Structure formats: structure tokens, C-alpha cells
Structure 1
Amino acid sequence: MADHYNVSSFLTLQGFHLPPDGVLPAFLFAVLSYLIILFCNLALIITIVLNRSLHQPMYYLLLNLPVNDLIGCSALFPQVIKEILLDTRRMHHTACVAQAFCIHVYGLGAVFILSAMAYDRYVAICCPLKYNVIMTNAHVMKLIAAVWGLNVLAMAVLFYLLLRLPRCRSLMTHSYCDNPSLLSLVCTDTSVNNVYGLALVAVTQVISHVVILYTYLQILLTCFRSKGCDTKAKAMQTCATHLIVFLLLECLGLFTIISYRLNDISPHLRRFIGASALVFPPMLNPIIYGLKTKEIRTKLVQFFNKKISFL
């Protein structure tokens, strides 16, 4: 009962409970994973920023994906690496809220960005003659501003509803901070938070699925009607790339949400599922886009060839 009335500024996270001989492999795996994510996403950002030939609406929108991935993984990995290395599970409440906010911004941002990218491909493939008229730089900047503005606003409301409630516990139910774990520390009615959270998930999922399903269906129909083999192949490749990234994110996100609702699930499995949504998409997204997008792949090869030649 002591923890029930504990309102300490420091929270106690659920540890990974690693055996002594598993600490070093876990630490090396976490550090290596973080470095790979940083390298791949920064390489994608630098490639798009430094090459004027990639300064097009499609790549402006794509640029937001690695930025968003860096926000998510950088909110998670430093804390996890510190926890593994120092065997500490204590975290200040303010830092915990900041971590949770960034993680949720990452999750919602990924859905919004992929939806915006699907809309761009729809206009490019289904309305090619109007593409330059519709997807002007001003329109793309408004689209990007809307993606980030709505994302931050939705998360600001979510965490305002959380922080207004009195906290009377300090023992977290997760190995990192997110809204459900922080909400479990509250000892009062959380109906408003639950309704808003579920409504936010439902609305964003419905909108994103409708946008992506409609745009991809129209793209596929346009491809089948097209007589040009090159156009059809390029459009199908674009659809496949977007669908792989979107399905990966959706499956991991869905498993994470379901794991919170299942009381019988192993705590270790719940932590793994939750962390996987912040590890695999940021690691695979730049690799998928870098390998599947010819223009980016070509510029990356040229960039590294110049660096190797210089050395």
C-alpha cells in the first residue's frame, strides 16, 4: 500500500531482468541498433537535402519520415541503453512525460506522413497532367505543416488530459514511458482520457486507412488501364514500397495496442512488442526507400563513391 500513496518525482520502470551474462550482449545490441538507425535515417535526410534533383514534392514528404523516425528512436534508445548499462530503473517524472510525448508524436506522425505520401502518389499517377498544378511547393508545405500541426495538437490535448489528473503511484507497468503506463499511475476516474484516446486512435486509423486504400485502389486501376509497361512497373513498385512500410507500422502498432488489453500476456512479450514498434520501422524505412527508390539509391551510391575516392 505504500506505493499507492507514493507521489515521488521519480518513477520506477519495469526492468528487463537480464541475467549477468546477458547485460553486455543486450547493451551491444541496443547501441548497434541505435547507431544503424541514426546512420540510415541521417543518410536518407542528407541525400535528399543536398541533391537539388530530389527537391520535389515526393521527396519533401519523404524527408519527414526519417525525421519522425529519429524522434521516436531517440526518445527510446538513450534511456534503454542507460538502463541496461547502469542497471537503473529510476526516471524523473518530467523526463518520462517528455519521452512518452515524443513516442506518441512518432506513432501518430508516421501514420499522417504515410497518408500524405499516398495522396502525393495518387495525384502523380492518376492525375499526371495536373500534378505540377496541384502539388506546388506552397501546397506541399501546407500539407507538411498540417501533418505536424495536427499531430502535435492531438498529442498536446492527450497529455494535457493526463497531467491534469493527480498521480498517486510511482511504479510503472512498462520498461519505457507511454500514455497508458503513465495513466496507470493515476488513482482517479480516467474515463475522459480513455474516451479521447480511443476516439483519437479510431479517427486517425479510419482516415488513414480510407486515404491509403482509396489512393492505392485508384493507382492500381490506373496501372491496369495503362499501356505503358514502364509506367505500370514504376507505379506498382511505388505502391509496394508504401504498403510494406504502412503494413509494418500498422501491424506493430496494432499488436502493441492489443497487448495492453490482454491481462494474460507475458510482461516480457508486452515489452518486446512495444519496443519493436520503435525499433523495426525506423531501421527498415530508410533501407526500404533507399533500395526501392531508384533516384535515392543512385544518389546514395554516388555520395559514398565520392567519399571512398576522396579517402
Structure 2
Amino acid sequence: MENFTFNSFTVQLEGLKVSKYSMYPVFLFFFFSYLFIMITNVGIVVLIFIDKSLHQPMYLLFCNLPVNDIVGNSIMMPRLLSDILQPPTEHFISYYCIECVVQAFTSHIFGTCCHTVLMIMAFDRYVAICNPLRYAAIMTNKMVIKLTVSAWGVALVLIGILLGLTIRLNRCRTLISNPFCDNASLFKLSCESVFINNAYGLTFTVVLLTSSIGSMVLTYTKITVVCLTSKNKSLNSKALKTCSTHLSVYLVVFLCGMLIIMLHRFPQYSDYRKVAAIVFHIIPGCLNPVIYGVQSKEIRKFLSRFFQTRKVLPSL
């Protein structure tokens, strides 16, 4: 299955092991999941853009999540859907020309931004609940832009270095044992020492998760203290709604990511790891707009007005 010519411009994806009987059900499941992700996330972005009542820091920062879901799934899912309907011997992908390296880059940007965006959203919730009188002065449009740029900028720089260290390696293999390209799969194609890649990747993962978990623990500890010491029922109710939404999204991302990390330690469960890697893209992309759509009073009001208008128009 492996070709030992050096630096081949084409590599082969192992893909999912799907029987001919389950091929179409699996394809339809992923297709409708992708369709749902695109419709709901694009809808959320458009809704926030056109409705001025949603031009608030909380929603503008949240808007980064659906954008991340759209980009991350648009690069990965179409190729996955195509490969499901093809035999494994035809799962070839170009290494450089847009496809494999870009796919790996965007998949890691997706995973990193899930954490960095949720971190800046946690800061917004902290200011809103712990410093409500100074919220407008702190969370200005300029601050929202700074937080957004920092969330994406940190991800772009860190992943740029990660993939840069991998691209420099010579390759002596062409088989990627994954349904899509990622950094670990790419540097495993090399017969050179990958110590630097492993060291940087491990350091990057530890720093990202430590920063992410640390910011959540610190933020929610302070918010909990404020809520317990405050007798303001309105503030506590608002804190419960907004924080439960944010924490739910974070736990979904965290648990999906940890599942992949744990399965990497068990090569015998490689098929489960492949499914977990796809699930990491699908589940947050499906749940994020649903969780925020259900919890957000402003979004529910907009959708209610929209559907009421649609009902009235035909009667006219």
C-alpha cells in the first residue's frame, strides 16, 4: 500500500472503512449533518449581521464560532463525502496544491479557534457579570476587534509554525491513515527524525489546553463568587442563562477533543479515532447554533418575528 519514492506530490487517504451496504446510509448521515451545519451557521451569521439588536459584544464574539464551523467543515466534509462513494484505491489527494496541506492547516485552525474564541467569550461574560457598570466602557467595538484578532491571530501563528515544521520534512511514505489530512498524519509520512515536531506539538497542545481550562476555571470561579454574594436576582438569572450556554458549548468542544487525544494512545482503535476526528467537526458545528438559538432571547425574538411575517405575507 505504501510507495517509497521520496517527496511524492500525491498521497493516499486511508479513509473510513465502510462496507458497500452501509456506504449510502453513512454518506447521507454526513451529508445532512454538513447541510445542517452550513444552513444553521450561515443563518446565525446573517442574522447577527442584519439585526441591529444583536450588534452586542456577546453576539459579535460568538459570531466567530459559526464562522469557524463553516470554514472548518467546508474544507473537510466535501472531500470526505466524495471519498465515501469511492473505493479506497482511489482516495488520492495532492500534497501541496491547495488540498492536503491546506486541509491539515484548516482542521487545526478549527480545533484551536474553538478554544481561543471560547476564551475571549469567557472574558466577555466575566466583565458583564463581575463589572456590569463598566461593561460598556470595557467592551467597546475596539475591544471586540482586538479580542477577535487575538483569537484568530494566535491560532494562525501557532498552526503556521506547526505545519511549517512538518512541510520541511522529506517524505518516504504516501499512505495517510486518516479520513482527512492532519499534522500528525503528515509528519508520519517522513522517515526523518520528528522529535522537534512531537515536542512542539505536545507543548502547543499542553499550553492551549492549560490556557483554555485555566481561563474557564478562573472566570467561572469569579462569576460564581459574585453570584453567591449578590442578592440581585436579575443579575443571577442572566448569569445562569448566558454562562450555561457558554459552558455547554465549551464542554462539547473539550470532550470531543479529549476523545481524539485519548484514542491516539491506542493504535488498535484507529477506526474509532477516525470517527472521533470527524465527530469533532460535526457535533460542535451542529450544537453551537442550536444551543445559542434556544438560550438567546434576542435570537428567539428575531426568529419569531421572521416566521410571523412569513405567515402574514401569504394571507395578504
Aligned letter for 1:199?
T
| Map of 2:156 onto structure 1 | 152
Q: Which amino acid aligns with 2:91?
A: R
Find the counterpart in structure 1 of residue 285 from structure 2: 282
TM superposition shift of 1:10? 1.4
Amino acid at match of 1:38: M
Name the structure 2 match of 1:41. Answer: 41
Residue 245 (1) aligns with residue 249 (2): yes
Could you tell me which of 99, 103, 109 is aligned with 1:105?
Answer: 109
Which of 271, 286, 294 is equivalent to 2:274? 271
1:308 is displaced (CA, Å) by 4.5
One of 155, 169, 182 as aligned partner of 2:186: 182
Q: Root-mean-square deviation (CA), in Å?
A: 1.5
Describe how 1:1-150 pairs up with structure 2 within 5 A.
3-5=3-5, 7-87=7-87, 88-94=90-96, 95-150=99-154
Partner of 1:164: 168
The aligned length equals 310
> Residue in 1 aligned with 2:296?
293
CA separation in 1, counterparts of 2:134 and 2:144? 14
Name the % identity.
38
Q: Is the 8 A contact 2:31 2:81 kept in 1?
A: yes
* 11-20 vs 152-161, which moves further: 11-20
- What is the aligned partner in structure 2 of residue 196 from structure 1? 200
Amino acid at match of 1:258: M
Query: How many Å separate the matches in 2 of 1:29 and 1:6?
Result: 38
**1:173-219 superposed Cα distances (whole Å, 9 cap, x missing partner):** 11111111111101101111111111111111111111111111111
Deviation, 1:75, is: 1.8
Distance of aligned partners of 1:176 and 1:308 in 2 relative to their CA distance in 1, 3 Å threshold: farther
How much does 1:257 deviate? Answer: 1.4
Runs of 5+ unmatched residues, structure 2 = none
Distance in 2 of aligned mates of 1:2 and 1:302:
58
Scaled by the length of structure 2, what TM-score is found?
A: 0.94
For 1:310 and 1:183, the matched residues in 2 are separated by: 58
Give the aligned residue type for 1:287: V
Task: Mark the CA change 1:2 to 1:291 in structure 2 (over 3 Å): closer, same or farther.
Answer: closer
Shift of 1:6: 5.3
- The SS at the match of 1:273 is helix
Partner SS state of residue 20, structure 1: coil
Listed one character per residue, the Cα deviations across residues 207-248 of structure 1 (whole Å, up to 9, x for unaligned) are: 111111111111111111221222212201212111111111
CA distance in 1, matches of 2:136, 2:169: 49
Contact preservation (8 Å) 1:14, 1:174: yes
| Structure 1 range deviating more: 301-310 or 157-166 | 301-310
CA offset digits 1:70-98 (Å, max 9, x no partner): 11111211011111123331111121111
| Partner amino acid, structure 1, of 2:68 | N
More deviation, 115-124/251-260:
251-260
For 1:162, the aligned partner's letter is T
The answer to whether the 8 A contact 1:122-1:219 is kept is yes
Q: CA deviation at 1:4?
A: 3.2
- Quote the Cα distance in structure 2 between the aligned partners of 1:73 and 1:195: 28
SS of 1:261's equivalent? coil
